[in-house]
Chains A and B, each alone.
Chain A
Amino acid sequence: MDLTLSPSEQQFREEVRGWIEANHPGPEPEAGLEEVMAFRREWQQKMHAAGWAGISWPKEYGGRGATMIEQAIFVGEASRLEAPSPANVLGLAMGGPVVIAHGTDAQKQRYLEPILTAEEIWCQGFSEPESGSDLASLKTRAVKDGDEWVVTGQKVWTTFAQYAKWCMLVARTDPDAPKHKGLTYFLMDMELEGVEAKPLVQITGEGEFNEVFIEEARIPDENVIGEVGGGWSVAITTLMNERAGLAFGAIAQVANGLKRLGALAAETRTNGGTAAEDPVIRQRLAQLYIEAETMRLNAYRGLTKTMQSGIPGPEGSLGKWQWADINQRMAELALDIEGAYAPLARGDEHAIAGGAWQYSFLRSRANSIEGGTTDILKNIIAERVLGLPKMR
């Protein structure tokens, strides 16, 4: 057992830290998604030029071929130093790895480089209005017509669809096959005729996500990834990559959040003292620190296990569940600390911390829904880790 980094891992961390500190462009623009995207594109181009975009990708595809621990270090440092997100986060974390795992040589040639350079942004077309947790029930149809597929349907929760060139689209190609078997994975050009993205305004007031309406869009056959009818397993690769890649960034974000929460408690006056002296606040803050530490240590245990077995296990679901829970409770505690000031939001001159916690409180409501609801994660844990019988 050794919870420290090896000398070479430590050296890697120093390198990452040094590069981010020297190139950090400062905080993201406060307003305007357009401005934010432009800022993130520029940041990703800088990352790519220095070889930090797609660090998990093999070197032959323009990546860095980093080990899992190096990826964890990179993501952890980037989050700790609050580096901006790259513009093409879904392309880097999901699209590229899927093309590398399931794509043809021609597809690799065509798609990988523009993902790294942020020239082409990717989005994910999985969820539908009637297929959320039950993803395999999705209804978007693709019908073969010559060397094209004619696609009709609707997707939802499509992050940054309005900026995307490519959509990782899962559609039903065989309506008669059992529901997991009749699906195919396509790359859909968002500029095709018949494809329309409309921002979906969420409870924070922003339009981070979109609805995508597809009306007889024609996708060429060469844009199928993997086998026709093999879309489910390709989609699963995407989701596994999403979950494994996010953990260490989320952990560092929580650590930063806790630090801010401690500072908020120390600065907030209440009952003739500060919130940091209030025994109830202290208990809740300590409990969050403890759980954040168990989440961090669980992730390291999981990483050790994955490095031995080669594949991330279903235990990763525990971490996503726990992260959502901690993130929500941090914001809840912050609002309780702010007391009467809790309603004042971004844009109000009296809002505490510029209304950052009000935003977190609202945005974190989605944490237990996005990327697998907590309820579904509990099913996965019950069935795949504990071996309990399936619900049906």
Chain B
Amino acid sequence: MYFDLTDEQQAIKATAHEFLAARYKSERIRELAESEHGFEQSDWEEMAGLGWQGLALPEEWSGQGLGIVELAVLFEEMGYALAPSPLFSNTIAGLALAHGGSDDQCERFLRPLAEGKLRGTPALWDAGSPATIGEFTMEARADGDGVVLDGEKVLVMDAAAADFLLVATADGHRHVVESGAPGVTVAPATSIDLTRRLYSVRFEGVRVAPENSLPGSDDEYFPVFHRVCVALAAESTGIAQRTMEMAVEYAKDRQQFGRPIGSYQAVSHRCAQMLLETENARSAVYGAAWAADAEPESLPTAASMAKAYASDAGWRVPDASLQVHGGIGFTWEHDLHFFLKRGKANAAMFGDAKWHRERVADAVLSAAGEPVSA
């Protein structure tokens, strides 16, 4: 029993913390929020130098071969820094290829993705659909030896900067579509979150050659989904940690009625609540990350617990921080709103808290009668 980061994991955390703190200061985040793609290519190349694109991808495809615990460490820091980067969407595409792709596809797409030379992103939700997890409406219409795609995908992260999209279809398959392919139109979406770019992508008679349709089906993507939930929950935990620290610092400095506002229990107890939620989120995230690496049979429930809890904490803690900050926290000039928005957007992605709680209810109620593990 040892529930803490190892020295190697601490080193990854320290490197990420330092790297991201140096690059994503307030002014820079604001500049990138206004920029075309929302991130900087040179940062991407530096991240590749650190092996981040391939952190949790197999070594055989140029990845680092590390686990989901290490991935959670990295994404907690990404959230803490509020780093605007396609690293998350790219990681999802990488995990999906690693789980559902053929060797040939891994050679052509996963290796360069892991090396930071090609960027990929998943295209999952169909326009007008209820965006139910794992259910897609776009048909993969047979055409000769390949398929043809028609329709519109929404909520596609970082699509304009992606080299390829991993498009989900109703039959449970994923297809690699190069973003410049004929019939593909990428249009920016307007999101509350200014630090992660979303797009809608139209597909008009887009032909996918057979060698670009992944052999994997739903069963291969659920483990990917659960790992992605853990990474996103880790990011939300980082957001909670950072905004809690901002509140505590502000409560120490800000004077009203002749003393620091942090000496009032209405404020200090709110901060204590923020710590509780942040620490709970962190425990749930690392418990699930550990399960992904060491006890995969318990991952589905652990991942849902982590995503449910961190979905709530990831925006409630910034929200509480905003209240502690008072009026200044409501201004555009203050950075808090960027965190609140990212946290709220994260909460909605890949199953909201309610959806994941329902998964947990299902698991615990169907296990009723089995012995409880201590």
Contacts and interface: CB of A to CB of B under 8 A. Distances in A.
Given A77-B374, A291-B280, A388-B248, A303 B361 contact: no
A153 interface: no
B201 to A, nearest CB: 34
A3 B290 CA distance: 8
Interface in B242-290: 248, 251-252, 259-260, 262-265, 268-269, 271-273, 275-276, 279-281, 283-284, 286-287, 290
Contacts of A1: 2-6, 9, 69, 286, 290
B1 A300 contact: yes
11 contacts: A1-B4, A6-B1, A291-B309, A293-B284, A298-B280, A318-B276, A321-B276, A322-B280, A375-B269, A379-B265, A388-B248
A84 B288 CA distance: 33
B372 interface: yes
Contact of B1 (A3, A252, A285, A322): A3
Contact of A5 (B1, B308, B354, B360): B1
A interface secondary structure, majority: helix
A389 B263 contact: yes
Interface stretch (B125-133, B178-186, B190-198, B362-370): B362-370
Contact of A262 (B2, B275, B365): B365
A304 B2 CA distance: 6
A294 interface: yes
B297 to A, nearest CB: 13
A256 interface: yes
B170 interface: no
B365 A2 contact: no
B293 to A, nearest CB: 8
A305 B279 CA distance: 14
A300 B268 contact: no
A263 interface: yes
Interface in A235-266: 251-252, 255-256, 258-259, 262-263, 265-266
Nearest to A76: B374
A336 to B, nearest CB: 15
A289 interface: yes
A154 B78 CA distance: 56
A265 B248 CA distance: 41
A252 B374 CA distance: 6
B211 interface: no
Closest 5 CB pairs of A and B: A297-B283, A382-B268, A294-B280, A282-B361, A286-B357
Given A321-B276, A375-B269, A378-B268, 16 more contacts: A1-B5, A1-B69, A3-B294, A9-B1, A69-B1, A256-B372, A283-B361, A286-B308, A287-B308, A293-B284, A300-B1, A301-B3, A377-B272, A379-B265, A381-B272, A390-B263
A385 interface: yes
A23 to B, nearest CB: 18
A389 B262 contact: yes
Contacts of B248: 386-388
Interface residues of B, number: 51
Given A290-B357, A297-B283, A386 B372 contact: no
B160 to A, nearest CB: 37
Contacts of A271: none
A276 interface: yes
B305 interface: yes
Contacts of B286: 1, 297
Given A265-B365, A290-B357, A3 B287 contact: yes
A297 B288 CA distance: 10
B372 A382 contact: no
B284 A294 contact: yes
Interface string B91-117: 000000000000000000000000000
B interface secondary structure, majority: helix
Interface string A372-384: 0001011101110
B77 to A, nearest CB: 17
Contacts of B252: 387-389
B357 A301 contact: no
B36 interface: no
B358 interface: yes
Contacts of A383: 268
B168 to A, nearest CB: 27
A300 B280 CA distance: 12
Contact of B284 (A266, A297, A390): A297
Contact of B269 (A6, A263, A378): A378
B275 A386 contact: yes
Given A2-B1, A289-B360, A80 B294 contact: no
Nearest to A317: B272
Given A290-B305, A388-B268, A304 B1 contact: yes
B365 A276 contact: yes
A156 to B, nearest CB: 25
B302 to A, nearest CB: 8
B308 to A, nearest CB: 6
Contacts of A390: 263
**Which of A76, A294, A321, A377 has the most chain B CB within a 10 Å cutoff?**
A294
Interface string A352-392: 00000000000000000000000101110111011111111
B308 A318 contact: no
B154 to A, nearest CB: 27
A320 to B, nearest CB: 11
A238 B259 CA distance: 34
B101 to A, nearest CB: 29
A2 B294 contact: yes
Interface string B330-374: 000000000000000000000000100110110011001100111
Contacts of A291: 280, 309
Nearest to A283: B357
Contact of A382 (B3, B271, B284): B271
